[in-house]
Each structure stands twice: as C-alpha cells, then as structure tokens.
Amino acid sequence: MKISVLTLFPEIFTGFQETSIIKKAILKGLVDYEVIDMRSFTEDKHNRVDDYPYGGGAGLVLMCQPVIDAIKATRTESSVVVMLTPQGRTLKQSIAYELSTYDHLILLCGHYEGFDERIRHYVDMEMSIGDYVLTGGETAAMVISDAVIRLVDGVITKESHEDDSFSNGLLEYPHYTRPRDYEGLVVPDVLISGHHENVRTFRLKESLRKTKRVRPDLLESREMTDLEIKLLHEIENE
Ligand code: 6GU
C-alpha cells in the first residue's frame, strides 16, 4: 500500500517514518510512505498558501489553488483522498481496517482555521481522530497512518492484532511478564498454570471487566455469547 501525506509541515513526519515498526514496514517495502510539501505547489508570488476569510473572522484559510493542485498531482485512479478535520468521521479500529484495504491513501493535512470549503469537492472522505481540536491535521495523519500501517499484511503478525483492543469490541486483557512478584504485586496464578482454556476464560473475563468499568458504551452495542453473559454476572457479584 502507498500513503501520501500532503502537508505544509513535512519535517514533523521525519521521526515518525524513521522509528520502530513504521520504519521496518517502509524498509521491507510493505508501505510506500511519501510526504509532500503543499507549499511547493503555490503559484502565489509570495509563496502564500492561506488567506483571510471572506466575510471576516479570525484566522487564515487554506486556499484552493495549492491544495487542489497538490491533490491532482498526487492522486491516481485508485487513490482515496482523506481530509483530516475535526468535522470528519471519528477514527475507529473498524475504519482503520477499512483504510488498510485501499491501494493508495492520500492524507490531506490542514492548518490554521481550516480549508476553503471548495477543497471538499476533491476529497473522498473526512476523518477526525476524536472530539477535541488540534492545531493541525499532521498529528492526526500520523495517528491514522500508524493505525493503518500496523494492519497491513506482514507488518506485524496476524495474532498480534487479532487480540487488540476493539478488534472483538472489547478492551484488551492485562499482560504480565517477568518477574512473577514485583514488590508484592504478583502475576495471577492462572497465567502460570499452563491451562490454556482457563487462561482464555480469565482473559475474556478481564477484558469484560475492564470494558464494563472504562467503556460501558462498548458493551451496550455488542452481541454477547452465553459465556460472556455468565462472566459479566460473575463480575457483578464479586
Ligand atoms: Cl483530523 N484535525 C484537527 N485539526 N483537529 C482534530 C482532528 C483533526 N481530529 C481531532 N481533532
């Protein structure tokens, strides 16, 4: 898969591309990651990419010309153009899966007060990463890139994301590694028992417990198995 980022601040992506799993995915050729400076598309003699809003008001607005020319120069038949904006759909793991199936994602990062509304005619979808306001779309583009790249085949093992939080509609169960006793905080016995069935049930129960406590909204919209209903009753009676 290919990801092209259109931004006015390409340097912010350097550390992201050069670190850990993302770096390896790029080196292995599993993802082609390209960062494009939209300022290089401006036809303004002072290199401007933004201007005052018609009608007045605070802040500057990204102009059509450099942004749309950058989109046109980057897109192909198979591209999906994603605008990063707090007015978009909120990112969810299910959307990250959907995005990971596309050939070419173009992540369009805004800054300042926002985009000229007409830019939306050149965009396929608008995404937000949550209900808060960032100074620009760049950090959101990194969040989306990270969530998508780790789902691309070969980047991490399938087992590592089949257990992820949200993949089964629940938050993930707790993990432990050595030592068994850290300052009196001990690893639950069942994890050392070697009894795989009991380990699975323990993990499911702890996932349910955590989800019920922190994200009860996730449980409301979820079909439950008989075992899950039984475990939730146990949790309620503890
Ligand atoms: Cl995608 N952009 C900005 N500027 N703020 C946000 C966001 C995006 N998602 C949440 N807040």
The number of the ligand 1 atom at minimal distance from the alpha carbon of 140 is 1
> How many residues are recorded in the chain?
238
Report the nearest-CA residue for atom 3 of ligand 1.
134
Residue 10 identity (one-letter amino acid): P
Strand partners for 80: 105
Q: Is 114 in the pocket of ligand 1 (CB under 6 A)?
A: no
Residues 23 and 122 in one domain: yes
Above 90 in pLDDT, residue 230?
A: yes
Asked if the model's pLDDT at residue 158 lies above 90, the reply is: no
Q: Which of 133, 139, 144, 146 to mutate for ligand 1's pocket (most ligand atoms within 8 Å of CB)?
A: 133
Residues 66 and 143 in one domain: yes
Summary mean pLDDT of the chain:
96
State the distance from the centre of ligand 1 to the C-alpha of 131, rounded, in angstroms. Answer: 8
Confidence of residue 170 (pLDDT cuts 50, 70, 90): very high
Q: Which residue range(s) make up the domain with 182?
A: 164-237
Average pLDDT over residues 137-159: 95
Asked whether residue 191 falls in the same domain as residue 112, the answer is: no
Which of 129, 131, 139 for mutating ligand 1's site (highest number of atoms within 8 Å of CB)?
129
Rounded to two decimals, the pTM is 0.94
Q: Closest residue (by CA) to atom 8 of ligand 1? A: 85
Q: What CATH number does the domain containing 111 carry?
A: 3.40.1280.10
pLDDT at residue 76, rounded to an integer:
98
Question: How far is residue 11's CA from residue 34's CA, in Å, rounded to a whole number?
Answer: 12
Q: How far is CA 159 from the centre of its chain?
A: 19
Phi-psi region of 14 (alpha: psi -120 to 50; beta: other; left: phi over 0): alpha
What is the pLDDT at residue 164?
82
The residue out of 158, 180, 197 marking a domain boundary is 158
Q: Same structural domain for residues 134 and 189?
A: no
Instruction: Say whether pLDDT at 136 is over 80.
Output: yes
> 115: helix, coil or strand?
strand
Measured from the CA of 135, which atom of ligand 1 is nearest?
Answer: 4
Model pLDDT, residue 187 = 98
| The ligand 1 atom nearest the CA atom of 132 | 11
pLDDT average, residue stretch 106-118: 92
Tell me which of 113, 139, 158 is where a domain ends.
158
Cα 174 to middle of ligand 1, angstroms: 30
What does the pLDDT look like over 193-223, one tens digit per residue?
999 999 999 999 999 999 999 999 999 989 9
Q: Residue 149 Cα, ligand 1 centroid: separation in angstroms?
A: 19
> Ligand 1: does its nearest atom lie under 6 Å from the Cβ of 133?
yes
CA neighbor of 236 nearest in space, from 202, 213, 204, 207: 213
Q: Cβ(28)–Cβ(152) under 8 Å?
A: no
Residue 112 has pLDDT above 80, yes or no: no
pLDDT at 183 over 90: yes
pLDDT for 120 beyond 90: yes
Tens digit of each residue's pLDDT (9 = 90 or more) over 82-107: 999 999 999 999 999 999 999 999 99
Among 158, 192, 218, give the residue marking a domain's end: 158
| Mean pLDDT confidence for 106-111 | 94
Q: Is the pLDDT of residue 163 over 80?
A: no
Count of structural domains within the chain: 2
Ligand 1 geometric centre to CA of 169 (Å): 24
**Which atom of ligand 1 lies at the shortest distance from residue 136's CA?**
4
Is residue 23 over pLDDT 80? yes
The pLDDT, as a whole number, for residue 142 is 98
Task: Point out the residues that are catalytic.
Answer: 86, 113, 150, 164
Q: Is 66 in the pocket of ligand 1 (CB under 6 A)?
A: no
